[in-house]
Structure 1
Amino acid sequence: MADESQRPIVVKKIKKGGHGHHGGAWKIAYADFVTAMMAFFLLMWLLGSTSSGILAGISDYFRTPLKTALQGGEGTGASTSVIKGGGTDLTKSTGVVAKGSPREQTEKVRSRGEQEKKMRQLEQRIKQQLDMTLSKNEALKALENQIRMEMTPDGLRIMIIDEQNRPMFQSGGFVPLDHTRLILQQIGRELNGIDNHISISGHTDANRFSGGGAGYTNWELSADRANAARREMVAGGMADEKVLRVVGLGAADPINKQNVFSSENRRIAIVILTKEAEERIRTDGVSDQTEQVPAAPVKEGQ
């Protein structure tokens, strides 16, 4: 019988199956996702808490970055806040008060509405007065179609227009005829009761001017007619300082663009200006988008 103590001992190890090791790549991807979401929500919060004036300034910067570079300084101004562009006034954009702030925009809309209402009332009043003036004279009734009124972005425009057989001025000259003088003086009396300033422009047709001295063209003729209209309106009682601009445009702005030689292109245009149009004329069309605010002195240690 064999010795059992000499038999070899066999140990069997059973290796259980399991999932392989994936490493930490998923953690990196998840961290990137969370960071992107935080940045997105931070951007949304900043856009929601920033005034429209500052947003407009940021938009202007990206459209014309050279402007800021040429002006110098930090951004477009100097801020008195520790956080650049911050401060107690949310309409400030790095030391600059934006004219496009919500409050100012609301005031502008309200002002435009009030001005338009006044212009409409003035239009009705002038029409009534002119109708009364024309009705008193049978010869003047035929001029009714030669007086036109319309609202424009610059204000209420009153036009006195030539017709083929009813000119407003002497042929080839700038002296107004009697019916033209009567109408201009009546308009002058009505306009003297309003606060707005006016602009007067003279227009001709495209026919080459053959009268007058050397170098006298439609440009000079239209300017002389506009100035003659101004004199008649002042003679009617209008204060001379109400006139903000008198210009001659020659044949450059015809009513009848299909026929630049038409008689209706010869006209006098009187515009009762809105406040915005007055400001634009006074500044030659240049208006600052922002109002500079002087920066507070910086103390040592700040």
Structure 2
Amino acid sequence: MLKRPGQEHGEVVVKKSGGKHAHEEHGGAWKVAFADFCLALMCLFLVLWVLAARDKEEIEVAMAAGAAPNMTYQGLGTRMVGEYQPGALIPKQPVNPQSQEQSGGQLQVQKLLDTPEELAQLSRRVREVGAQVGLDQHIITAVTAEGLRITVHDTEQSGMFKVGSAEPTPEFVRLLRRIGPMFREIDNQLVIAGHTDAQPFSGHDAFAASNWSLSMQRALMARAHMMLGGMPARSVLQVIGMAEVAPADPQNPQAPINRRVELLVTTKAHAQNVHRTFGQLPVSEPLTPELQSSPADTPMLERLREMLLKPAPGAAAKAP
């Protein structure tokens, strides 16, 4: 016991306590446990949202490509749509067609590009976009009589798709989505062709995966990503798979340049020829009750008709 100095009326008693409350519920341990529970719950919801966002985009790509959601190939590096793959959970490219990537290659005026000079201008824009995404060494452009031919091919260092798969690489996706908005500003239609090398698939069944199905699915995937970038559906005239029958390097059937996707920006005349070739057949004129024939309609035959029907010079003068 201690006495207060200068005080005569009593002693000061100091009592030390163990610091424990009579009731544990007055402590703060439960608050820490509740905070941990809320944090774990928030992490769970975040993971579920990330997985749902990724599956939604892959389903949209598959639907735009015209492929079934469970489409896969019997080759290396294949997977089903929606299956997990290493890498970023959410792609950086937005799904919205009105994305800011459209600013990479829009033409100023909506028109039909039909002259070599106009097509060459579009070629330069495509190559600029290719350089921006790091694929300038993968792009070959050429102005032909049919239109602008844009070839995006593999190299020894990198490819446009995973081996034996129709899943494009992130660089190829960025290229396609930046090229897509260009077709919002022009009236030209597009032919998309997929090509593979001569490496065959292991299965030989008629319904097994083959270079035909692989090239077709790659062309459809290119169409899907261009549409997600902003290309209207009306811009696509034809989507075809060529397998390995038209190699870019015939001397080396398995060369990387043979694995490619070609975009043909057609002229008006070539688009009309494609429509006539695969469109409605002309009205048939029966030669006999048992035989049907369809008149050919080509520029050469039209000129021949004009020459035959044109009166010879001086024929009118000789007429009585």
TM-score (norm 1): 0.53
**Where does 1:139-150 land on structure 2 (aligned, <5 Å)?**
140=134, 143-150=135-142
Cα distance in 1 for partners of 2:204, 2:175 equals 27
Deviation readout 1:40-75 (Å, 9 max, x if unpaired): xxxxxxxxxxxxxxxxxxxxxxxxxxxxxxxxxxxx
Give the equivalent residue in structure 2 for 1:215: 208
What residue number does 1:172 align with? 164
- Matching residue within 140, 143, 148 for 1:151: 143
Return closer, same or farther for 1:235/1:114 CA change in 2, 3 Å cut-off: closer
- 1:185 pairs, out of 177, 196, 203, with 177
- The one-character-per-residue Cα deviations of 1:127-153 (angstroms, maximum 9, x if unpaired) are 23333x23xxxxx3xx32111111122
Change in CA separation of 1:239 and 1:208 when aligned onto 2, cut-off 3 Å: same
RMSD: 2.6
- Verify the 8 A CA contact 1:162 1:266 in the aligned structure 2: yes
Secondary structure of the residue that 1:199 maps to in structure 2? strand
Contiguous gaps of at least 5 residues in structure 1? 1-111, 135-139, 294-302
The answer to whether the 8 A contact 1:186-1:236 is kept is yes
1:154-198: CA deviation from partner (whole Å, max 9, x where unpaired): 110111101233111121111111111001111112232111000
Q: Distance in 2 between matches of 1:113 and 1:223?
A: 27
Distance 1:113 1:268, change over 3 A: closer
Q: Give runs of ≥4 in structure 1 deviating > 4 Å.
A: 211-214
Distance 1:113 1:267, change over 3 A: closer
Give the paired residue count.
Answer: 174
2:243 aligns with one of 238, 247, 250? 250
Distance in structure 2 (CA, Å) of the matches to 1:273 and 1:267: 19
1:230 aligns with 2:223: yes
CA positional deviation for 1:263: 1.4
Q: TM-score, normalised by structure 2?
A: 0.50
Structure number with larger C-alpha Rg: 1
Q: Describe the superposition over 1:89-130 as per-residue Cα deviations: whole angstroms up to 9, x where unpaired.
A: xxxxxxxxxxxxxxxxxxxxxxx9952221112112222333
CA deviation map 1:264-290 (0-9, x unaligned): 100000010011110111111774443
Aligned partner of 2:172: which letter? T
From 270, 283, 286, give the equivalent of 1:277. 270
Structure 2, unpaired ranges of 5+: 1-111, 279-295, 307-320
